[in-house]
Structure 1
């Protein structure tokens, strides 16, 4: 399963996590409008999304976000079903609720 966590917990946990990977599951267009530094873009709408997930290290901890928290929650659920053993964190409210700096 995965945890929905707020922006503060999300940022603090990721910053302190040597085994953490930050995933942005939005579209390229959304990404181009600003993203959280250090993320890997993996568009959930692309037909190869699931096969890309299969290529990830399932033992790592994943911090997943999208625009509002809906798609990233779906991605976390899918990752849990696929046997990811690390912690899965969904950014509650998505990037819309993110008040810290973004990269462009």
Structure 2
């Protein structure tokens, strides 16, 4: 499900079951992240699937990438894997006006 920035951020901050998921590359991740994000690079192929499978499927995932395309794909994959809720940030971090921080070492 695609959400506007406001819906996505409000949801991620007010949902006790929320997990923010960044599916960009390591280089993009190092340019700055939305606070609290975890990182799983969608370009890792099977490793991406394997890492998703290790997550709690009952939680609510707020997913983003650079423009919203990869995170939209990630949400679809998550749905196929049985995740209850995966929310895509429309426009990705390129259109993000909320907080961005430098990631601590992965």
Using structure 2 for the length normalisation, give the TM-score.
0.93
Residues 1:32 and 2:30 are matched in the alignment: yes
Q: Secondary structure at the match of 2:33?
A: coil
Give the match for residue 60 of structure 2. Answer: 61
Q: How much has 1:25 moved relative to structure 2? A: 0.1
Moved beyond 2 Å, runs of 4+: none
Deviation readout 1:36-68 (Å, 9 max, x if unpaired): 000001000113000000101000000000000
Give the match for residue 82 of structure 1. Answer: 81
Unaligned stretches of 5+ in structure 2? Answer: none
CA distance in 2, matches of 1:101, 1:22: 13
Q: Secondary structure at the match of 2:27?
A: helix
CA distance in 2, matches of 1:78, 1:100: 26
Aligned residue pairs: how many? 101
Unaligned stretches of 5+ in structure 1? Answer: none
Q: RMSD over aligned Cα, in angstroms?
A: 0.7
Deviation readout 1:68-100 (Å, 9 max, x if unpaired): 000000000000001112x21000000001011
Using structure 1 for the length normalisation, give the TM-score.
0.94
Give the match for residue 49 of structure 1. Answer: 48
